[in-house]
Structure 1
Amino acid sequence: MPLSLASTIDIHMYKRKRVAAAYRGQGRTHRATQRLVHQRLHDHETAPGLGNLDAKGEVDNDGVDIAWYEVGNPNADVTVVFIHGYCLSSEGWCDQVEHLRGRSDVRSLLVDVRGHGLSSRVPASNCTIDAAADDVLAVILERLPKDNGRIVVVGHSLGGMIALNLIRRAPQDIFERISGALLISTSMRRFSDKGVTRLLQSRVAKAFYSAIGRVPDKFNRLRFGIAQVVAPTLAALVAGFPQMERLQFHTAMLLDTPLASFVGYFDDLTEHAEFDAEGRLKTLHGQVIIGSMDIVTPMSQAELICEKWGQGELKVIDGSGHMVILEEPEQISQAIDEVISAA
């Protein structure tokens, strides 16, 4: 459905406020704070971020070390498998994991897919949705033996498409244990078909991505300096209008992402589709969540998933952008509770 003139004006004003806030936060003091937030990103002590982990480790998936984290009862009836988004990491699910911590019937299992978080860095050519789904499957096979209950899959953005890929390609015995899914700010069609990603497919943008893909690691210091200025603006554009602490947290994850991952996953997202997941998806219960101000995966993307899914309930979070998991964490946690109950 086309946006009304009033809605279009509201969105443009909204974007301008977000960018203005990002620029206000780019002084020397704020950049020093941003660097500190980045340095503490994976210490598993500093909030926001994952803390008080019950277990953590790595799984070797065909020579790539995949980091995983657990919180909760190892013998829980249900394990929620969290899959993070593009240029993020498991740290982004901190609010939802904390929400589930007190439930004895639920365990949280989080995966840093290749090229993100504490998992191995890989060449851009290895940063694909298929490979990332294999990473998640490798962790599931390692951490969730066959007699260890049901699985609920939760994916945000890139993680949502990885979740669809996992559902489509998982071995039958694993798929039969998947009882529900929560797909957040994601797509079943190519990301470049709708939203701001389509604009990034220009010749200039493609040349830029090609160029940064060839930058050697020795120039990462220069990259970090530039990114400290650019990343807050990007975070403000795709996130809604979170408090500065959340903006810096999101920016830290962007700064933490290697150039190869940035380029490789972007290339794959613009061409990859998961319509073939429809058959298995129809057998599951779950929800699709979208922010009303999402410019990366707009409403039509979520509506298409629900149309193909049949049993997926659409929920729109008013005033939220693409980073809804940080902007409205309570509503995401509530949705996870509902999917667990339905499953």
Structure 2
Amino acid sequence: MASARPDPSTSRKSTVTASDGVRLYVEESGPRDGAVTLVFVHGFCMTADAWTFQRRGLGDLGRTLCYDQRAHGRSGPSEAEHCTIAQLADDLRRVLDDRVPTGQVVLIGHSMGGMTILGLAEAHPELFGERIIAVGLLSTSAGELPRLAFGLPAAVGAAARRVLPGMAVGMRHAPSLLERVRWKGSSLSRTLTRRLGFGAARVPEPVVDSLETMVANTPIPVVGAFLPTLLDHDRLAAAAALRDIPTLLLVGDADVMTPIEHSRILAEALPEAELAVEEGAGHAVILERPDAVNARLRDLVNRAVPEGILAGRWSAPPGSVRVG
């Protein structure tokens, strides 16, 4: 019988020390000795709180763990030279070694969190198989982010991409003006959150609030420190480590941050993976379509652990299209 689903507000809180001394904030729920642990890795300018719907909706599967990536949320600050995908991958390895030393793991990453998982696959492909038994890459890219248009007209998007490297430097060294411009609750902040985070359909105001709060609370210098590694990210070859385990690629077709083409490129590299497209959903699909995302993730775990952690198989939620 499935256990009661834990409330993230009552989870166990601790810290893990990264290789360079940064303290990483960690939250866990469910049995400490669970056979399978679901580890959630959040995206850029977000925190572990982004996974609230998934932790509540999937808590009956057993143990769940999430953490704030370095320089985000309640984790410690980081030197700019350590704000890289390679370092984030090493942080994830530390969290696994410290908090999940035994048992099998399902890794679930959103956006930069998915890139972190690909970074781990590049550095430690041997972990993917008996140890890491399934992976979910949600709204994730393996590379080519400099080609993004962010939903802008082609000419405007090209101009924006040209100034991004200079903007990253400015964000790190002269952030005060940008902090004032993006003031939380302003009409500009609200408009950007809706445009870059969600699709066209109406999203509950508390959900928009939660994303806006996470983004607004990420200091501008942190945004600038991570931009170079996101623009340089190229780990398509690392996806080979995932070929022999169940893998879910999920994306909204209205995502302007990591558009559907990026998931299709990953799907070509991982022909056995499931590519799931959420019609009308934007980048923050885990907040915008939590029931659909949870259904896909439940099916992923069911495929990875066929002996019956779940009572039933997947059934398609409304508004979703099963591609692979």
Aligned: 1:179 with 2:137: no
Counterpart contact for 1:200–1:206, Cα < 8 Å: no
Counterpart contact for 1:100–1:107, Cα < 8 Å: no
* Correspondence for 2:113 among 159, 164, 189: 159
**C-alpha separation in 1, matches of 2:49 and 2:303:** 26
Q: Map 1:89-168; keep pairs closer than 5 Å.
A: 89-103=47-61, 106-145=62-101, 148-168=102-122
Aligned: 1:65 with 2:23: yes
> How far did residue 188 of structure 1 move?
1.0
Counterpart contact for 1:123–1:261, Cα < 8 Å: no
- Secondary structure of the corresponding residue to residue 118 of structure 1: coil
Structure of greater relative contact order (alpha carbons < 8 Å, 6+ residues apart) = 1
**C-alpha separation in 1, matches of 2:88 and 2:226:** 10
Are the structure 2 counterparts of residues 255 and 112 from structure 1 closer, same or farther at C-alpha, using a change threshold of 3 Å?
Answer: same
The residue number in structure 1 matching 2:250 is 289
The residue number in structure 2 matching 1:6 is none
**C-alpha separation in 2, matches of 1:200 and 1:296:** 16
> How far did residue 175 of structure 1 move?
5.7
**C-alpha separation in 2, matches of 1:245 and 1:149:** 36
Any gaps of 5 or more consecutive residues in structure 2?
1-6, 152-156, 305-324
Higher deviation after alignment, 195-204 or 250-259: 195-204
> How far did residue 200 of structure 1 move?
7.0
The residue number in structure 1 matching 2:169 is 210
**C-alpha separation in 2, matches of 1:227 and 1:124:** 23
**C-alpha separation in 2, matches of 1:149 and 1:186:** 26
Are the structure 2 counterparts of residues 203 and 315 from structure 1 closer, same or farther at C-alpha, using a change threshold of 3 Å?
Answer: closer
- Secondary structure of the corresponding residue to residue 119 of structure 1: coil
The residue number in structure 1 matching 2:192 is 234
Are the structure 2 counterparts of residues 250 and 199 from structure 1 closer, same or farther at C-alpha, using a change threshold of 3 Å?
Answer: farther
> How far did residue 168 of structure 1 move?
2.5
> How far did residue 273 of structure 1 move?
0.8
**Residue type of the partner of 1:215?**
A
Are the structure 2 counterparts of residues 151 and 108 from structure 1 closer, same or farther at C-alpha, using a change threshold of 3 Å?
Answer: same
Q: TM-score, normalised by structure 2?
A: 0.82
Are the structure 2 counterparts of residues 283 and 187 from structure 1 closer, same or farther at C-alpha, using a change threshold of 3 Å?
Answer: same
> How far did residue 124 of structure 1 move?
2.6
**Residue type of the partner of 1:232?**
R
**C-alpha separation in 2, matches of 1:298 and 1:174:** 26
**Residue type of the partner of 1:168?**
E
**Residue type of the partner of 1:87?**
C
* Correspondence for 1:275 among 218, 225, 236: 236
**C-alpha separation in 2, matches of 1:334 and 1:224:** 40
- Secondary structure of the corresponding residue to residue 183 of structure 2: helix
**C-alpha separation in 1, matches of 2:145 and 2:120:** 18
* Correspondence for 1:85 among 40, 43, 50: 43
The residue number in structure 2 matching 1:309 is 270
- Secondary structure of the corresponding residue to residue 280 of structure 2: coil
Any gaps of 5 or more consecutive residues in structure 1?
1-48
Counterpart contact for 2:172–2:224, Cα < 8 Å: yes
Aligned: 1:260 with 2:221: yes
**C-alpha separation in 2, matches of 1:60 and 1:162:** 17
Q: TM-score, normalised by structure 1?
A: 0.78
- Secondary structure of the corresponding residue to residue 182 of structure 1: strand
Counterpart contact for 1:97–1:108, Cα < 8 Å: yes
> How far did residue 119 of structure 1 move?
0.7
The residue number in structure 2 matching 1:328 is 289
**C-alpha separation in 2, matches of 1:175 and 1:111:** 23
Runs of 4+ in 1 over 4 A off after TM superposition: 197-201
**C-alpha separation in 2, matches of 1:173 and 1:323:** 28
Higher deviation after alignment, 118-127 or 190-199: 190-199
Higher deviation after alignment, 272-281 or 293-302: 272-281
Aligned residue-pair number: 287
The residue number in structure 1 matching 2:322 is none
Q: Map 1:241-256; keep pairs closer than 5 Å.
A: 241-256=202-217
Counterpart contact for 1:56–1:68, Cα < 8 Å: yes
RMSD over aligned CA atoms reads 2.1
**C-alpha separation in 2, matches of 1:223 and 1:296:** 21
> How far did residue 199 of structure 1 move?
4.5
**C-alpha separation in 2, matches of 1:73 and 1:330:** 24
Are the structure 2 counterparts of residues 226 and 98 from structure 1 closer, same or farther at C-alpha, using a change threshold of 3 Å?
Answer: same
